[in-house]
Amino acid sequence: MIAIYYGRPGPRAFLSSLSTDAHRLATRLSEEVQKSCKNAYRFISTQLTTYYQRVKSHIKSVEWEKWIRRCCWVASILWTVSILGLFAFLGLYGALSYRFESEDSACRSDDTFNPIISEYNAWAMSGFFKINLGFGNLTFTEAKVVDIFWDIIIGRGLQASMAFMSWHVFTIYVTTLMEFTPVTYAVFFTVFLQNEPTLYSTFSIVRAFISQRRLRSRIAMVFMIWSMSFLMVWPTIVGAMTGYTTVIEALVLDYKGHYIPFKEFQPIAYVIHDGWRVNLTANYIVSLYGSGKTAEKEPIVNFLHNSFCGACVFGTISDSGVDCSIQEEASNYVSKYGFFGLNHTASTFGRIEIPSPVLNISAFYINPVGEFYGSSQFGNLSNAAFVYSNQTYPLTYVIENGSCQPTVNRLKWGFSFIQVFFALLFLTVWTIGTSILWHEARSNLCLLSQAVVPKGWRPILILAENMKKEMGRAGLDACSLTGQELEDEIKTRLKGGSVTLR
């Protein structure tokens, strides 16, 4: 028997219906998502457009010209203060250069050997090309990178900035002059159609000022020529005054012909010739340093104001393990009993009783302002001496046989003091001169209500119009002349030509 069921779909029909419903649902969801994305996009786009319009309107409402002018004023003030401050500092350094010297080495900033700091002079012409204002402890690559960045930023970058400022001032100043007197073609072309100095433009300006038509102010004329020359050679000045040199170490040739680090030589205060009487050796040397492990690692002290720095300070307790007791005892002893053992009395050295006569103690050099007694008798700096390996080395020997030798693969980068001083001097002159010229030009421009500084393409039109009129009056046909012939005619017949703004 075959059973037929009406109204109930089969499995295949049911699955087909379910698939159709799922497809419709997915399509509807996709349409809803797309609609939502479009609405979100329209909303975000509308908000961004509104915000952009508001920002644009706000930017347009700002008086940018005033803000730019204020920023220029602030920048010019900071520039002037910085240049004058650096110049004043270098002047102070030059006058008191020995006070800035390191006390940890006998090598001076100009790589010369001299333990007497007070004799160092940064103005010595022997150090004109030496890097005596050096910094750092660099590898060759590090020093080279610093030098390249210096040449790019300070050399070329600063030259471009100063040229822009100079030409801005020159154009305003020449514009005010042209309201009363004309200028030559060369002057107009250089000032208004160039933006940086060149050798040819500088030569043209000099020739125009000398043989053709001068400006009303000779001071301004000379300053313009000097400023162009200075800006043209500025990168060379910057490159010459900087560089890198090796880090050096102070060495002294001892009596055996070996180079010994100068820090191992100790300055002598006293010599106890009969030291055996107080449980010391004969000719016992008392240095300015105390004894102890830390004292052996201390660098040699230097002369400053005719004195040794870092010598023992009596009456203090050191946490570094330095013992200055023998130095203090010797100083107290000679202050009480005198030098050379001339006093025939019993004496006491520390806790040791000494029968007559007193100890025979002498000295080489005693600092007048130090802790050690005897500066009235031994205050001559030239008699100073050092001790190394139980041998005495006079100061004259140390200076004659001392040298500053480079360490391996270490460099310092810096400046030549004399060159950087004159570079800052020139910058100071340029800053002050440009400021005065700008102030005078702006003042005159404000008085001339109709004067407009030519910018952009306008200077070309002005120069062409003036040349056409003047050559027409002189009967010169520029098209029939070569470039050299036209230049000669302008020099001889037109005396360099004349350009006005009227």
Residue 227 lies in a domain: yes
Residue 253 lies in a domain: no
Degrees, nearest 5: CA angle 341-346-347:
75
- The rounded mean pLDDT for the chain is 81
Total domain count, the chain? 2
Q: Which residue has the higher pLDDT, 39 or 297?
A: 39
Q: Are 129 and 418 in contact (CB under 8 A)?
A: no
Residue 472 lies in a domain: yes
Residue 2 lies in a domain: no
Q: Given strand 402-415, what is the order of strands in its sheet?
A: 133-138, 402-415, 242-253, 259-261
- Phi-psi sector, 29: left (phi>0), alpha (psi -120 to 50), beta: alpha
Distance CA 13, CA 382 (A): 122
Q: Where would I find the beta strands (DSSP E) of 254-312?
A: 259-261, 266-272, 284-287
For residue 299, name the pLDDT band (cuts at 50, 70, 90). Answer: very low
pLDDT of residue 468: 84
Same domain? For 288 and 327 the reply is yes
Distance CA 307, CA 283 (A): 24
Residue 39 lies in a domain: no
Does residue 397 register a pLDDT over 90? yes
Residue 222 lies in a domain: yes
Helix axes 199-207, 185-193, angle to 10 degrees: 140
Same domain? For 268 and 332 the reply is yes
Same domain? For 454 and 340 the reply is no
pLDDT per position as a tens digit, 406-450: 877 788 899 999 999 999 999 999 999 999 988 888 887 766 655
Q: Are 403 and 111 in contact (CB under 8 A)?
A: no
pLDDT per position as a tens digit, 331-376: 999 999 999 999 899 999 988 899 999 999 999 998 887 788 988 8
**H/E stretch holding 77:** helix 64-95
Mean pLDDT of 118-124: 87
Same domain? For 132 and 163 the reply is yes
Q: What percent of the chain has pLDDT over 70?
A: 84
pLDDT of residue 62: 55
> Tokens in use for 55?
């920002």
* Predicted structure pTM score: 0.71
Distance CA 278, CA 349 (A): 7
Q: Which long-range contacts (CB under 8 A, 24 or more apart) does 382-385 make?
A: 384/267, 384/268, 384/303, 385/267, 385/268
Same domain? For 278 and 322 the reply is yes
Range of the domain at 362: 261-388
Q: Are 468 and 180 in contact (CB under 8 A)?
A: no
> What does each C-alpha distance from 85 to 79, 81, 158, 308, 427 come to in angstroms?
10, 6, 18, 33, 12
Residue 248 lies in a domain: no
pLDDT of residue 294: 39
Same domain? For 176 and 308 the reply is no
Same domain? For 233 and 97 the reply is yes
Q: Give the DSSP letter string of 209-257.
A: IIII---S-HHHHHHHHHHHHHHHHHHHHHHHHEEEEEEEEEEEE-TTS
Whole-angstrom Cα Rg for the chain: 42
Q: Are 411 and 373 in contact (CB under 8 A)?
A: no
Same domain? For 239 and 91 the reply is yes
pLDDT per position as a tens digit, 18-42: 566 666 666 776 777 777 777 777 7
Same domain? For 368 and 274 the reply is yes
Enumerate residues 6+ apart whose C-beta is below 8 A from 403.
113, 250, 251, 252, 253, 259
Distance CA 421, CA 88 (A): 10
pLDDT of residue 495: 79
Same domain? For 343 and 436 the reply is no
pLDDT per position as a tens digit, 238-247: 999 998 888 8
Last residue of a domain, one of 388, 403, 438: 388
Residue 352 lies in a domain: yes
Same domain? For 94 and 235 the reply is yes
Same domain? For 229 and 356 the reply is no
